Amino acid sequence: ISPLPDNPGQFTGIAASPGIAIAPVVHYQLAPVSITEYHIENVEIEWQRLQHAIQRAKQEITMLLSHASVQIGDAEAAIFDAHLLFLADPVMLDSVRRYIIEDRLNAEAAWQAVVEEVTNSYRQLEDAYLKERVDDVVDVGRRVLRILLGNLPTELHILEPSIVVGTDLTPSDTARLDPRKVLGICMTAGSATSHSAIIARTLGIPAVVGVDSQVLTVENGAVIALDGEGGRVWIEPEGSVLTALENKRQVWQTNQAEARKKAHQPATTRDGQRIHVFANIGSVADAKAAVGYGAEGVGLLRTEFLYLEQIKPPTEEEQLQVYQDIAQTLGELPLIIRTLDVGGDKQIPYLGSTLQETNPFLGVRGIRFCLEHPYLLKTQLRAILRASAKHHIKVMWPMISTLTELRAAKSILNQSMAELKKDGMEFDAKLPVGVMIETPAAVAIADHLAKEVDFFSIGTNDLSQYVMACDRTNPKVANLTDALQPAVLRMIQQTVEAGHAANIWVGLCGEIAAETAVAPILIGLGIDELSTNPQAIAPLKQVISQLTTTESQVLARVALNQDSASRVRELVYPIG
């Protein structure tokens, strides 16, 4: 491609998310939050006001986290776990309480004072990662202030495809963007490693940040162009610039199309080992994208999206329609539906327990929640069974830790089958059943579980957290929740061995499946199927086609004997 020409209205910024965008400008600006500081008489009422606002903020963030889990994946959505962690920080809450009780400050002023203290302390740190968290603290701080002031949430309403221009985008606002309407992001602040940039890359929205503030003077509707890979922005670009950008976009789209063509071929190693590559999805639209990207089926349908933005659970008929729509989109390809997986970091307020859990990750989540609410599970299973009548559908239980849980879930499935049979409704009487391997307990009894199911799917996000005994929402220990920890790799190996001994296949649907460089280790451990986000399918298949199982097994054995995740990473990401 010929170099992009200079242009009088050109700015250089920081490349934050690759891709080319050419579209009219829509300005985005955070609504100013104006607070008044005043002396209070009743400190207890003021403290309660703040407590209520924080609780409301937690509910909003929890809903946003659930949405983000579906839209951008669990790993990126964990960004919002940190927001919840901040709201529960006892040191921060004690500081606010002192301002209210000792200085008799109103809640808004006390909260703002502490948020400013925290952000200033972060900015003075040498640790680049913690410096980047300033945006998250500001985001959470504004949310609580808005609630205290009685303001409605600000929504970015974009009707036509546009490029969003502004000072900065909060992680919360970025997660809600629609890639079909927001073609690009141009901000005067930010960095390539900020949470907003990470989310933009996950959504596939080109972004340039750190652009000169003059860009803020561009009128709404004016056409601008940006190159998210080169970090450049053009205002009302000249014909030569547009031509060069269009050429670059065409080359990129051609390369993508070529990759997608190859992605529709089976993923087979050089020595003939077939590895099935499936997609993780959370909507009908995702299913269409998955087929386009070459998925051989859906390895994980997150059904939580059906329960979001509702005031009551979806009915059997509503669920049936969605499952049928997704299955029809897939045609003859298999669809693995995970039953409702809430709790932990995925809360749906109207389904919530009245009991506040001290540690929700170790509480009533996944299959535990559904077994406590069997009517919810039975409604979902009836819909899945009815959809299975004419489609290639499998069901999968999340968060299994005991044989008792598995058998209880299967009992409700059998009850649902009996009811449908009595009502004369069609379904697949041999519906394949699998379990998510996400807990050390499930690995330890994998040989017993394997005798009662048709397949395993390893969820490395949670498995890593539980094996390493650390909260992935805590920045101080988050580095331990790496699926390449030798302890986690040994758990994967043990699960595969138990599954294969019982003649069932073993898949993996954690975020690590998207890291193409890690594929040799996973294949060397004996994984039969990898399920990942649709965009990662083409490069993953390409890598698989270049491997041999023998070489992969050698690498896996070496990885299992390393002393840390960083050492394992050095094997697949060699320095220099």
pTM: 0.69
Of the candidates 78, 85, 75, 147, the one whose C-alpha atom is nearest the C-alpha of residue 118 is 85
Active-site annotation holds for 509: yes
At residue 23, the 3 state secondary structure works out as: strand
Residue 444 confidence (pLDDT): 98
In this structure, the number of other CB atoms found within 10 A of the CB of residue 433 comes to 17
Give the SS3 label for residue 57.
helix
Q: Catalytic: 392?
A: no
Under a CB-based contact definition with an 8 Å cutoff, are residues 274 and 267 in contact? yes
With b meaning 16 or more CB within 10 Å and e meaning fewer, what string describes 52-68?
Answer: ebbeebbebbbbbbbbb
Q: Which two tokens stand for residue 408?
A: 């209880």
Annotated active-site residue in 67, 83, 186, 195: 195
What is the reported pLDDT for 273? 95
Q: What is residue 494's predicted lDDT score, i.e. its pLDDT?
A: 98
Spatial CA neighbour of 42 closest among 34, 31, 33, 50: 50
- The token pair at 541 is 């298949």
Tokens of 171: 């992680």
The pLDDT assigned to 1 comes to 39
Instruction: Count other Cβ atoms within 10 Å, centred on residue 365.
Output: 21
CB 389 within 8 A of CB 426: yes
Q: What is the mean pLDDT of each run of 10 residues along the chain (576 residues)?
A: 56 86 88 82 91 90 76 70 82 90 92 90 64 78 90 72 89 83 90 76 86 89 89 90 86 73 90 95 84 93 79 91 96 96 67 62 88 94 97 97 97 97 96 97 98 96 90 66 92 98 96 87 97 86 93 97 91 69
Other C-beta atoms lying within 10 Å of the C-beta of residue 432: 17
> Of these residues, 276, 370, 391, 509, which one is catalytic?
509
Whole-number pLDDT of residue 73: 67
Task: Give the separation between CA 11 and CA 208, rounded to whole angstroms.
Answer: 10
Starting at the edge strand found earlier in the chain, the sheet holding 207-209 runs 10-12, 232-235, 223-227, 20-28, 162-166, 182-187, 207-209, 14-17
Helices 43-72 and 90-101 pack at an angle, to 10 degrees, of 150
* Residue 166 bridge partners (DSSP): 28, 187
- Residue 27: its H or E element: strand 20-28
pLDDT at 576 (0 to 100): 40
Q: CB-based contacts of 96: which residues, under 8 Å, 6+ apart? A: 50, 107, 110, 111, 114
